[in-house]
Structure 1
Amino acid sequence: MADTEPSLVASALGTAAYAFTKVQPLLPVYAHMILASLFPIYAAAHASLTRPSTAAKPSKKNRKDRARAAAEDEDSDSEDEDEDEEPENEMEGLSPRHIILFPLFAGISLATLYFLLKWLKDPSILSKALNAYFAVFGFFAVTKLVSDVLDIGHSIIFPRRHVLGGALYHVDGKAGRAVPVAGDVKNGKVITTPLPGFLARMPLGDGAKEWLWADRAMPSNKWTLKLYLERALAGKARVGAHTLVGAVVALATLVYFNLVDKTWYLTNLLGFSFAYGSIQVISPTTFATGSAILVGLFFYDIYMVFFTYVLSSPLLHPLAQDTANTTSSSPLMVTVASSLDVPIKLMFPKPGTATTPSGKNAAAMLGLGDIIIPGLMIGLALRFDLYLFYLRRQKRVPATTEGAEDTVVKAEFTPLAGRWSDHFWTHSLMGRPLWKSAAPLENGKEEAPFTFPKTYFNASLVGYVGGLVATFAALHLMNHAQPALLWLVPGVLLSLWATALVRGEIALMWHYSEEIVEEATEAGKEATKRTGQLFKEEDVNAVRKPATGKSRRPEREVFSFSIEGPRKVGPTAGAKMEGKNEGSEAGNGTTVPTTVKSQVWTGSEAHSSAREEGGVEPAGKRLRVR
């Protein structure tokens, strides 16, 4: 009997089985790449959360209550501190002109690096120069990332709210106790340990409790550095223990990376730090501007990978060549990225192949642009979710007199600092409250929200992961380096705009803007916006008044530098940390350094007009709060 040809289904199954066998060794690598790229996006997006325009400022009394304990740990310099001032976060807004500038400058930079490589004929020379340049920014970026990670870990161990025995507890750091406020309050007892949940049942001595309360207060016990140079500089910075640890880790990382060995994990640490910091300080301003910029970079990435082939020698392309005597044609972007040993990419070890040189470790690469560029839109989507959350909590009060306009009453904004760790200790894995009743507290107030719906954020993350999976599939099917933005941009943009279309919120998304509209002060003057910097600057050109106490400088002072330690370190310091974290932590529970008196960012000139949606306050009026 003659052999029959396999059916179409059998052929398809056989092809799929062969393809799976071929890609199976790389599945852990791809999973590593997906998780590693999501880490800086997720963390930075939550760290960028601030008060949206649809939420009211916290009342003066609530702000004072949160800052009360922290203020005890500050000096009384009235020139530097303003209890009524709302902290602001520095952010750079993008404008429509960046639609052209981004691809243009990216192309110029890439071409310049390639021609420098050809001219120098030694990639190590250019790598050393670039690494020295990146080391300056890398120090601050790694310090910020490490200190924020430590703050997250600390907030998980010492949350402000937790559940024990069906009762919701609020931790009072100043009093050194946790008090039941909701749920099974009758059977709940006052707890004298800062440990949350079941950990509170651990038998501890007074000395151990004292040490735990002091450790809970540790992040807020900061050293204050003051610097003054007449008519040039005046300001102060505050440095805590976590910041010092981050600085040590950053310095050790840069020394080892530049002087010993450029391992993949140190390259990734620097890459994570750059991506984490960039997503926090850059905003697309509007969804229209962000989408247009992504589309422009979409075509740029395609052109640089598919239409810019160059003759690549092993000297300039060491990761792609097997021997020292061969040359090949390689995309310009791939040539530059693989030739330079600088932290502009993430590297992931993968199993060697038959073409891998003996003793050389193979690695998959993902450019930082493939994380930062989509991450800007994903961060914008999360802030839009927060905007919608408070928009739906607004109440419209009908006018009492004829011809008057209705009044929109906004819900008071609750800082999102530490909410993730609070949610972890108060809710089940399915998101249900662990205390028996979710009713208002005994004093009649509602419990502050632990989280908010993240519809657009989750949709954009799904689109991003789908784009990465499509990139990996195309890489194997075409056997050719892939421009990741070719798949990531459609994945993110289609997921966002399709979600808005299904929910009927296209107009809301289109008109949403993060451009700042200046607010007037009570005295009728415009609020002053200053650029954030390491030291909080004063008006060094102002005429100095005679010294009248601690709040004034000596009249003959020309130069001074001082270091002040924390005033108190003890069990009562827990309240200080609690008050400080309320005002200084980011939405994901990480602590944003309070050493900088930052300001709002200003968006593009093209979006200067305020936008109104449904009669509520313009979305463009948005102060960024830490």
Structure 2
Amino acid sequence: MDAQKLLDVAIQHFNDERHLIPMYLHLIVSALFPIYAGAHASLSRPSSAAKPVKKKRRSVGSQDEDADDDDDEEVVQKLEGMSPRDAVIYPVVAGITLAGLYYLITKYGAKAINLIFGWYFAVAGVFSVAKLVSDAATVAISFVFPTYFGWNGRLYRVDGTKKKAIVVRGAADEGEVDSAVPSVPTWLKTFYGTIWAVRAAIKQRYTVHVRAGRDLDEKTNFTMVHALATLFGITTSAYANLVAKPWYLTNLQGFAVCYTAFQMLSPTSFTTGSLLLSGLFCYDIWAVFFTPLMVTVAKNLDQPIKLVFPRPEEVVQAPFAPPKRQYSMLGLGDIVLPGIMMALALRFDLYLFYLAKQQRKTVQKVDTANGKEGKEAEAEMIEKAPYIPVTGYSGDRFWTARLPTSSRPEKLNASFPKPYFYASMIGYTVGMLTTLVVMSVYQHAQPALLYLVPGVLVSLWGTALVRGEVMAMWGFSEAVDAEPVEVGGDTGKKEEGLKLDSAQTWVNMWDEVLRFWGLKEWGTEGKSGKGAAAVEEKRATRGKAGDVPAKGKAVESAQDDDVVFGFTISRYRPKQEAGDLSEPSGSAEDVAGKRE
């Protein structure tokens, strides 16, 4: 009888709250979307894989199917890692910050705080929104203007220079223009040239050269997509701070912040991440249940630190009063903090995939340590499989999906199993559903991490236990130790890291931002990314009066050294290597970009 009554109450409650189901689905999908996209965008070559095999560029007119892809450069995500000490301190710092914001809001009001934070987040909003829009636009363009497509069982490659589709595989005379390609409809012939021009304009790359004094000399590549995405980011931030903040604009900025965070932050290891989430688990309970801090700050701060979801309009009892619109909120911390652990799980899946492909080989080497006459000895060596990018080429994958795997380029077939990532996605979804159910039953704001943290951690460690990989997960780490470099001239001392002057430090920081944004991938000639040695080399080539320049280096004129500021924009020209007979071109058709 008690069970029947409980069931009746549950059914009645479901009927009362059924109108909120679309909003709840909206909330769950909005939380999973940036996690899925950002986690995949954070992928790069794991330590268990070897560097991709680089091919020499072909001469103009080469029939090699990868002729335009030979200049793809490896993109390595540089994430800001955490240590166990950071994981312990972070919840304490978060609690102190939250208490400080609560004090300022209750004493001075939220208007001044929102004004200050508004312009602070405006800068981050421009960068994050531009990054999100740029990547999304690149993926969309790959569907409209693919490089590869399949037709009648054959693989074709679009040649932007010849403005034709060339057979790659499936014909007797590969590399020839095939008449079997569907002809252009009559109504489209008028716009045929315009379509090719638009395609070329979108893929055209430009180089911005900025020079300030003797220390700053940077070249950065960009496309029209990057420029328009930046303009869009500036527009959205300006509108949000000067005009209005509709809920969908707040959510766009929130999505963008989450998306970029997954490509910048890493818990480094599963142990550190578990320690961080455990601390935040306790922090969230304290901030929501035992104090009014979290709810008060979230309701008063009108900033992109939360996602806002409109609830169904409620009828007001007062006569002629308009319906009342309320909103549900989800803090970005409830997405980012479990999400960085889930992104780590995806990278762990990729690590295990290439770890399983490693092979042990026995090689013969000569041991000369025991005398002049060396003796052959056997040594065991681990051979790693070359890394093939598993992200990007979305449009090409779609347009060649009907072709057999053997007929497609290897990069379009790249994939790997994702048991840990999918397990964490299920755990996160279960935790989110539990949060919504409890909130609906008790009609009180809930600390989402109270349910999300157990869902994510139990799913990850439980999967490792079932698969017998607990020790592998425990020992996995993305921490990279700095290599010692010689500094101080002839002193012979070695120190960790690089010692740069203040100007070069800022240049290197800017380089990291550009690389993250995808603007430093295409053979940038700026030297700052190579560290202090490059700075000294650049200064040495400029020289002083009476100095002898290094072989192959030209000393810049004194007039050029006296330039205070210089700014130029030109078409991108890839740097040719010795023996390269290909003609340089500024189009991405000639040097295919890697990231989509």
TM-score (norm 1): 0.75
Is the 1:475–1:481 Cα contact (8 Å) retained in structure 2?
yes
Q: Report the equivalent of 1:105.
A: 93
Q: Report the equivalent of 1:561.
A: 566
Q: Distance in 1 between matches of 2:25 and 2:420?
A: 23
Aligned runs of 1:75-224 on 2, under 5 Å? 87-120=75-108, 122-182=109-169, 184-185=170-171, 202-203=184-185, 208-224=191-207
Q: Alpha-carbon deviation of 1:231?
A: 4.1
Q: Distance in 2 between matches of 1:579 and 1:298?
A: 48
Is the 1:55–1:410 Cα contact (8 Å) retained in structure 2?
yes
Could you tell me which of 383, 387, 393 is aligned with 1:413?
Answer: 387
Q: Which amino acid in 2 is paired with 1:45?
A: A
Q: Which amino acid in 2 is paired with 1:560?
A: F
Q: Alpha-carbon deviation of 1:153?
A: 0.5
Q: Distance in 2 between matches of 1:356 and 1:274?
A: 40
Q: Report the equivalent of 1:36.
A: 30
Q: Which amino acid in 1 is paired with 2:421?
A: F
Compared CA separation, residues 191 and 374, structure 1 to 2 (3 A) = farther
Q: Alpha-carbon deviation of 1:546?
A: 4.7
Q: Distance in 2 between matches of 1:67 and 1:552?
A: 38
Q: Which amino acid in 2 is paired with 1:255?
A: A
Is the 1:397–1:406 Cα contact (8 Å) retained in structure 2?
yes
Could you tell me which of 326, 329, 346 is aligned with 2:307?
Answer: 346
The size of the alignment, in residue pairs, is 525
Q: Report the equivalent of 2:541.
A: 545
* Bigger RCO (CA 8 Å, 6+ sep): 1
Compared CA separation, residues 29 and 393, structure 1 to 2 (3 A) = same
Q: Distance in 2 between matches of 1:157 and 1:414?
A: 24
Q: Distance in 1 between matches of 2:244 and 2:411?
A: 51
Q: Distance in 1 between matches of 2:363 and 2:114?
A: 67
Could you tell me which of 397, 407, 423 is aligned with 2:361?
Answer: 397
Q: Report the equivalent of 2:49.
A: 55
Q: Report the equivalent of 1:228.
A: 211
Structure 1 or 2: larger helix share? Answer: 2
Q: Which amino acid in 2 is paired with 1:149?
A: A
Compared CA separation, residues 448 and 423, structure 1 to 2 (3 A) = closer
Q: Alpha-carbon deviation of 1:513?
A: 1.2
1:579 aligns to what SS in structure 2?
Answer: coil
Compared CA separation, residues 299 and 217, structure 1 to 2 (3 A) = farther
More moved, 92-101 vs 60-69: 60-69
Is the 1:214–1:573 Cα contact (8 Å) retained in structure 2?
no
Q: Report the equivalent of 2:522.
A: none
Could you tell me which of 15, 36, 52 is aligned with 2:9?
Answer: 15
Q: Report the equivalent of 1:335.
A: 296
2:286 aligns to what SS in structure 1?
Answer: helix
2:210 aligns to what SS in structure 1?
Answer: strand
Q: Report the equivalent of 2:581.
A: none
Q: Distance in 2 between matches of 1:66 and 1:136?
A: 43
Q: Report the equivalent of 1:75.
A: none
Is the 1:56–1:411 Cα contact (8 Å) retained in structure 2?
yes
Q: Alpha-carbon deviation of 1:108?
A: 1.1
2:219 aligns to what SS in structure 1?
Answer: strand
1:406 aligns to what SS in structure 2?
Answer: strand
2:507 aligned with 1:511 = no
Is the 2:206–2:586 Cα contact (8 Å) retained in structure 1?
no
Compared CA separation, residues 578 and 457, structure 1 to 2 (3 A) = farther
Q: Distance in 1 between matches of 2:47 and 2:252?
A: 35
2:244 aligns to what SS in structure 1?
Answer: coil
Could you tell me which of 581, 586, 599 is aligned with 2:593?
Answer: 581
Compared CA separation, residues 160 and 229, structure 1 to 2 (3 A) = same
Q: Distance in 1 between matches of 2:72 and 2:13?
A: 63
Is the 2:388–2:411 Cα contact (8 Å) retained in structure 1?
no
Q: Report the equivalent of 1:375.
A: 339
Compared CA separation, residues 84 and 41, structure 1 to 2 (3 A) = closer
Residues 562-592 of structure 1, C-alpha deviations (whole Å, 9 max, x = no match): 2223269xxx97973473422xx1xxx3xxx
Q: Distance in 2 between matches of 1:299 and 1:201?
A: 65
Residues 515-546 of structure 1, C-alpha deviations (whole Å, 9 max, x = no match): 1255799xxx9998754445756355653425
Q: Which amino acid in 1 is paired with 2:104?
A: L
Q: Report the equivalent of 2:406.
A: 439
More moved, 256-265 vs 201-210: 201-210
Q: Which amino acid in 1 is paired with 2:424?
A: S
Q: Distance in 2 between matches of 1:356 and 1:492?
A: 43
Is the 1:175–1:575 Cα contact (8 Å) retained in structure 2?
no
Compared CA separation, residues 225 and 528, structure 1 to 2 (3 A) = farther
Compared CA separation, residues 447 and 370, structure 1 to 2 (3 A) = closer
Compared CA separation, residues 458 and 285, structure 1 to 2 (3 A) = same
Is the 2:396–2:412 Cα contact (8 Å) retained in structure 1?
no
Q: Alpha-carbon deviation of 1:456?
A: 1.4
Identity of aligned residues (%): 40
Compared CA separation, residues 371 and 446, structure 1 to 2 (3 A) = closer
Residues 298-331 of structure 1, C-alpha deviations (whole Å, 9 max, x = no match): 11111100111xxxxxxxxxxxxxxxxxxxxxx2
Residues 153-196 of structure 1, C-alpha deviations (whole Å, 9 max, x = no match): 011222333322223334444554444445x5469996689xxx
Is the 1:159–1:418 Cα contact (8 Å) retained in structure 2?
no
Q: Which amino acid in 2 is paired with 1:554?
A: S
Residues 444-470 of structure 1, C-alpha deviations (whole Å, 9 max, x = no match): x96653322222111111111111111
Compared CA separation, residues 305 and 273, structure 1 to 2 (3 A) = same
